[in-house]
Structure 1
Amino acid sequence: MFKIPDPELQIDFSGVLAEIRGQYLQDALAATIKNLDITEIDKALADYVPKPSLATLASHGLRGELMFPVPLLLTANPRLLGYYRLLYGYSQKEFYTTETGVSRFQSMEKRGVLTAANAADLPDLCRALSGAAALLLDGIGAKRVSQALLDDLTLLTLGPQLRGGANVKKGAAGIVKVFDAIHDIVKPAVKEATANRIEIENAAGRRVLIEFAPDPDIIIREEMSKDNFRELIAVEVKGGSDFSNIHNRIGEAEKSHQKAKAAGYVECWTVVNVDRIDMDMAKKESPTTNRFYRISDLINGGGPEYQDFRARVISLTGIRS
């Protein structure tokens, strides 16, 4: 009667969260402080943090570094820049930009690397971040601030980041599944294959390349003469399984296929990971798409949708059936 999906995403998140706590969140901050001279941290806080802000935190038994970064801490553990970014509510996309001037510091959060040039500018970065921290503390209010609330704020920013990462992984997995389905179809004609590229020879003796590409996701081209290709098929794979977002994904596919058509591709296909998609609606939202397919049908390797996919791959690549 009820079809409740498995909570796979939350299971994955629980494992990732445990790892992130040790790298970026309050656990990582506490572990870093243990290895430093607390009196030196206090001196740095006095230099970088407004006295009223320190007094507000102290009145709740909270140390200043819970909200305010200082060069001493970020030098000892560059990844902590991620903690303060999450605490202040900035996504990676809006924080690490040329507009903020912080883009070159991203290696601190991602790889734990602090270059000599970035170390020289770390004091100015900490002063700028402290300004944001002071505004956040004032906005929270002295009565509401607590260590638990600050932890909650970092998690509120982290949630969409984790979900976005999961969606990227899901999308990549969908592309691989479609690539594998094509590989199975053309296998008798394969001359050479790697993880992201298949070379086949068609019935005319011409070389056909099936490759991963940045946009669209999979391209199939026939070599007419040396380094001169005929663009056969552009495949855009939308691996997300969230039905509520299918309209956005179809719109993204349309943009990709418009570029593919302009580049000369004969056929543009969109493969989705939502079984109950309204095909009439999809055709209206992506008129450039010649054919729509479902990942589940391609994986199962049966049914009219798969047979159509298989027949068209064979026909357009020119291999023997």
Structure 2
Amino acid sequence: MSSINLPNPELQISFSYKLGQIREVYLQEALSKTIKSLDIKTLNFELDQIVPAKDLKRLAMKSLRAELMFPVPCLLIENPNLLGYYRLLLGFSQKEFYKSELGLSRFKRMETNQFLSNKNREDLNSLCKEFAIRVSELIDGVGIDRISKEFIDDLTLLTLGPQLRGGANNKRGIDAITVVFKIIKDIVQHAIHDSTSSSITLLNSSERRVQIKFAADPDIVIHEIMDEGFDGHALLAIEVKGGKDISNIHNRIGEAEKSHRKAKSDGYVECWTVINVDQIDLNLLKKESPTTNQFFRINHLNNFNSDEFKKFRNSILSLTGIRSV
């Protein structure tokens, strides 16, 4: 009989705590707190001005306040974070919603930093009217009979779920890059001339300066530094794929290949890919990313006695031109 092993629910546990925090900032709990601090006459006046009469009537028949679905300026002025609540209600991710071509990118800081510029404040009425059109379409589409506080909450959570997972995946990716950077730093520690949180400068055996640093694409790069301070010989580009989901590994390798092709065109001699999946055929991955010169696995790099770590260490020392200790 084959053994059965379920992974632990660490991500869901993390989500549960994160959800509690988000409810206080973006969801119905945040909306309720904001309403308590507002003049109800002002709120009702703006709702009457912006929300279609048919929708006011339909929601009233369900004993629901219209601001549960429709934003108005006084709400967003009092609590700019609430723009996120209404975005979630309509089912848009931040990436989809805050696009410059939609004229919405300038409003993003309302949700993320609770910052409302004078220009955006002047345009809140227009923004809320546009929301009113789309929310009315939403009510028509799902049917007023299904609308309730619980259903509205469900709609926001449906959008929030992928957002939380995307954030977790991004954090996992950043954590993995940081782990690899630290492993490299430990390998070259004896030759470090200068370092910051994002870069390391070495003095190699030929008295040449070599820099190791975080980059956007690829994730970590190593190059010589010319006397003038400019980047010199491009030595190594490293792509780190921190996702642990084996079913998505081939997509991540495709992303690495794309990055490495760019790195090769920029003159990098070596391109490596570091993955966070153990049980995988590295020869198969090589076919999917022919530009990758070497593949490594994070768990193996964390084991200083492993053959993979020794190969990684010796290759780093060779490329940077520093002696072993």
Q: 1:243, CA displacement in angstroms?
A: 1.0
In the alignment, which of 259, 264, 275 is matched to residue 261 of structure 1?
A: 264
Segments of structure 2 that go 5 or more residues without pairing to the other structure are none
Q: Deviations over 1:184-222 (max 9, x none)?
A: 111111112222111111111111111011111101112
The within-5 A match list for 1:160-309 is 160-226=162-228, 227=230, 229-309=232-312
2:161 aligned with 1:159:
yes
Q: Secondary structure at the match of 1:99?
A: helix
Q: Which runs of 5+ in 1 are unaligned?
A: none
C-alpha distance in 2, partners of 1:222/1:188? 18
Structure 2 SS opposite 1:203: coil
The 2-side partners of 1:51 and 1:196 are apart by: 56
Question: How many angstroms apart in 2 are the aligned matches of 1:10 and 1:135?
Answer: 33
State whether residues 237 and 268 of structure 2, in contact with CA within 8 Å, keep that contact through their aligned partners in structure 1: yes
Distance 1:146 1:35 in 2: 24
Amino acid in structure 2 at the alignment position of 1:151:
D
Segments of 4+ moved more than 4 angstroms: none
CA distance in 1, matches of 2:79, 2:224: 51
> What one-letter code is carried by the residue in structure 2 that aligns with 1:109?
E
For 1:131, the aligned partner's letter is I
Match of 2:45 in 1: 43
* Alignment match, 2:105: 103
Other-structure match for 1:122: 124
Deviation, structure 1 residue 301: 1.6
Secondary structure at the aligned position of 2:184 is classed as: helix
Aligned mates of 1:23, 1:223 — CA distance in 2: 46
2: CA distance, partners of 1:166 / 1:228: 33
The structural deviation recorded for 1:29 is 0.3
The amino acid that maps onto 2:6 is I
Partner Cα distance (1:144, 1:204) in 2: 73
CA distance in 2, matches of 1:145, 1:153: 10
| 2:188 partner amino acid | V
Figure out how many residues of one structure are paired with residues of the other and give that number: 321
RMSD: 1.0
Query: AA paired with 1:87?
Result: L
Partner secondary structure for residue 312 of structure 1: helix
Task: List per-residue Cα deviations over 1:234-286 (Å, max 9, x = no partner).
Answer: 00000111111111110110011001100111100000001112212211111
Letter in 2 for 1:52: K
For residue 233 of structure 1, report the CA deviation from its aligned partner: 0.6
Q: Structure 1 vs Structure 2: percent identity of aligned residues?
A: 56
